[in-house]
């Protein structure tokens, strides 16, 4: 029987199948940060057991760490305790830890691929919903809860119902100025935040194949924002070129063996999906959100649409979102003043995002009154930025580079947007208070963020 890419990987990792129930799935790689892991390690202690395969777990603090003066103790006692607890747990259980100031430290979903830890054909989990990022390399990757983290630590397996399969095909090539983030926001706006619930999504089509590896990570990262269990893209020559030579990637004969297997990881002709969705890349322009979930988005030249009059409950929440954001139906957001710009997160904190931002602001100056937080996703990205002279371009334009971390993606560290202020953010969520109590968030790609940073307002980057 022809198989989908998802079926090939999932079925190869099933240890036991419970009739009319879930599967016991073997996990190749477990990523661990400081937020969802403490209770899991406490559970192991209570049961008097060790981590079954410690070499399969990689730890890195990211959510709670500051992005200035990481060489000093963390000021916030809650954040400091969480980071210190991860350090102690990793040491006690013999796990690999990339701690603060470690050259491999960074956002867990950035450092996995860049170090060759994430590979095609793997199953990967982390106590974080944006684990879907790793599916860009042709892996089955998804977020799990704290009790499931303990399960993986104890057994290297997890009990999971097998999701349904959806293929989203984007035909054609993206227009100039359209980034992977714009494609993601477009798909989510069409699918809605619940449109892929219960599915694992495979992205396909010319527009997807044209993306760089980092662009593919951005797209898969946001699969969860439309309710999907995860997202993935079949590995190809772009994937293999990205992986080759990375520290933890196979070498020599092992590379040849791995590559031969990876080339089999594609959906067979005739394989059946539970749902098929098609979009045309020609319909996608630079995108922005206007509400308080990632599905409330428009093309940057479009006006805020009216809610569905037949959905009374939906209209109430829609109106509430617009009131929170200070926007109105029918309004065009071009020209709206901006207070903050954030470039970073596991969605857009990679070197290509900084290259795009720097190329745009080169020869220009940061707008007066705009606070810009430019945060690399890892120390590796920071080193690339400096090696390529991107830091000098940013400095000449009036921008400062901060240290790696999750930063203003979420209000779990010092980088919080003040109440009432409007931020253009390259992160992945715009819920009420996500970037700080009362903060207002417009999600966008790195080019729209750069345009806002130099003009001080929402600006179509194509006009500059």
Say how many C-beta atoms besides its own lie within 10 A of residue 323's C-beta. Answer: 11
Cβ(404)–Cβ(106) under 8 Å? yes
What share of the chain in percent tops pLDDT 70?
100
Cβ(431)–Cβ(293) under 8 Å? yes
Reduced to 3 states (helix: H, G, I; strand: E, B; else coil), residue 123 is strand
**pLDDT attached to residue 279:** 98
Please give the Cα distance from 407 to 284 (Å, whole number): 29
Q: How far apart are the first and last CA of the chain?
A: 52
What value does the mean pLDDT take over residues 258-265? Answer: 98
Please report which confidence band the pLDDT of residue 177 belongs to, taking 50, 70 and 90 as the band edges: very high
Q: Which residue has the tokens 């990632």?
A: 294
Please report which confidence band the pLDDT of residue 193 belongs to, taking 50, 70 and 90 as the band edges: very high
Q: Which residue has the tokens 């704290």?
A: 146
Rounded to 5°, the CA angle 11-113-264 comes to: 40
Residue 295 token pair: 């599905």
**pLDDT attached to residue 372:** 98
What tens digit of pLDDT does each residue of 59-109 get?
999 999 999 999 999 999 999 999 999 999 999 999 999 999 999 999 999
What tens digit of pLDDT does each residue of 277-298 get?
999 999 999 999 999 999 999 9
Rounded to 5°, the CA angle 221-234-357 comes to: 40
Please report which confidence band the pLDDT of residue 348 belongs to, taking 50, 70 and 90 as the band edges: very high
**pLDDT attached to residue 322:** 98
166 to each of 161, 181, 231, 418, how far by Cα in Å?
16, 20, 9, 39
Bridge partners of 58? Answer: 31, 96
Bridge partners of 30? Answer: 57, 125
Close Cβ partners of 53 (under 8 Å, ≥ 6 residues apart): 156
What value does the mean pLDDT take over residues 449-458? Answer: 98
**pLDDT attached to residue 6:** 98
What tens digit of pLDDT does each residue of 380-421 get?
999 999 999 999 999 999 999 999 999 999 999 999 999 999
Q: What's the mean per-residue pLDDT of the chain? A: 97
What tens digit of pLDDT does each residue of 352-365 get?
999 999 999 999 99
Please report which confidence band the pLDDT of residue 47 belongs to, taking 50, 70 and 90 as the band edges: very high
**pLDDT attached to residue 414:** 95
Sheet of 140-143, strands arranged across: 96-97, 57-59, 29-32, 123-126, 140-143
- CA nearest to 201, candidates 269, 142, 159: 142
What value does the mean pLDDT take over residues 26-46? Answer: 96
Say how many C-beta atoms besides its own lie within 10 A of residue 172's C-beta. Answer: 15
Please report which confidence band the pLDDT of residue 191 belongs to, taking 50, 70 and 90 as the band edges: very high
Residue 123: burial class (beta carbons within 10 Å; 0-12, 13-18, 19+): buried
**pLDDT attached to residue 60:** 98
**pLDDT attached to residue 91:** 98
Please give the Cα distance from 278 to 336 (Å, whole number): 33
Residue 28: burial class (beta carbons within 10 Å; 0-12, 13-18, 19+): buried
The DSSP H or E segment spanning 169 is strand 164-171
What tens digit of pLDDT does each residue of 201-249 get?
999 999 999 999 999 999 999 999 999 999 999 999 999 999 999 999 9
DSSP class of residue 126 equals: E
Cβ(429)–Cβ(225) under 8 Å? yes
Please give the Cα distance from 85 to 326 (Å, whole number): 40
Residue 356 token pair: 């795009």
Close Cβ partners of 184 (under 8 Å, ≥ 6 residues apart): 218, 219, 221, 222, 225
338 to each of 278, 297, 375, how far by Cα in Å?
34, 17, 18
**pLDDT attached to residue 224:** 98
């Amino acid at each position: 029987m022809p198989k989908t890419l998802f079926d090939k990987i999932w079925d190869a990792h099933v240890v036991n199948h419970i009739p009319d129930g879930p599967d016991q799935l073997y996990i190749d790689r477990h990523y661990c940060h400081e937020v969802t892991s403490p209770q899991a390690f406490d559970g192991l202690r209570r049961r008097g057991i060790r981590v079954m395969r410690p070499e399969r777990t990689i730890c890195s603090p990211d959510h709670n760490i500051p992005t200035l003066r990481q060489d000093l103790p963390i000021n916030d006692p809650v954040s400091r305790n969480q980071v210190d607890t991860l350090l102690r747990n990793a040491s006690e259980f013999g796990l690999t830890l990339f701690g603060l100031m470690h050259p491999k430290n960074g956002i867990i979903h950035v450092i996995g691929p860049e170090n060759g830890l994430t590979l095609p054909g793997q199953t990967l989990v982390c106590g974080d919903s944006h684990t879907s990022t790793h599916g860009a390399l042709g892996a089955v990757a998804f977020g799990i809860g704290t009790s499931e983290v303990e399960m993986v630590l104890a057994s290297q397996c997890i009990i999971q119902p097998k999701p349904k399969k959806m293929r989203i095909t984007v035909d054609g090539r993206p227009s100039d100025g359209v980034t992977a983030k714009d494609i993601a926001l477009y798909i989510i706006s069409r699918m809605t935040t619940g449109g892929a619930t219960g599915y694992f999504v495979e992205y396909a089509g010319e527009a997807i194949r044209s993306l760089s590896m980092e662009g593919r990570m951005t797209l898969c990262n946001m699969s969860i924002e439309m309710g999907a269990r995860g997202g993935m893209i079949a590995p190809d020559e772009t994937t293999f070129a990205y992986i080759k030579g990375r520290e933890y990637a196979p070498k020599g004969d092992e590379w040849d063996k791995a590559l031969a297997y990876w080339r089999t990881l594609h959906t067979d002709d005739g394989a059946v999906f539970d749902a098929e969705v098609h979009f045309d890349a020609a319909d996608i322009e630079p995108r922005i959100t206007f509400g308080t979930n990632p599905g409330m988005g428009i093309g940057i030249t479009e006006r805020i649409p009216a809610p569905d009059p037949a959905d009374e409950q939906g209209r109430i929440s829609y109106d509430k979102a617009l009131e929170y954001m200070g926007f109105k139906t029918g309004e065009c957001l071009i020209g709206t003043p901006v207070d903050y710009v954030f470039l970073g997160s596991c969605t857009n904190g990679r070197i290509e995002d900084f290259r795009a931002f720097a190329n745009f602001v080169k020869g220009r100056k940061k707008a007066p009154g705009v606070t810009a937080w430019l945060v690399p996703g890892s120390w590796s990205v920071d080193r690339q930025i400096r090696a390529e002279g991107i830091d000098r371009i940013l400095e000449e334009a009036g921008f400062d580079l901060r240290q790696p971390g999750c930063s203003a993606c979420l209000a779990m560290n010092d980088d919080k947007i003040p109440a009432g202020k409007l931020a253009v953010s390259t992160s992945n969520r715009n819920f009420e208070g996500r970037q700080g109590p009362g903060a207002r968030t417009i999600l966008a790609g790195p080019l729209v963020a750069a345009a806002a940073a130099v003009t001080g307002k929402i600006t179509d980057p194509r006009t500059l």
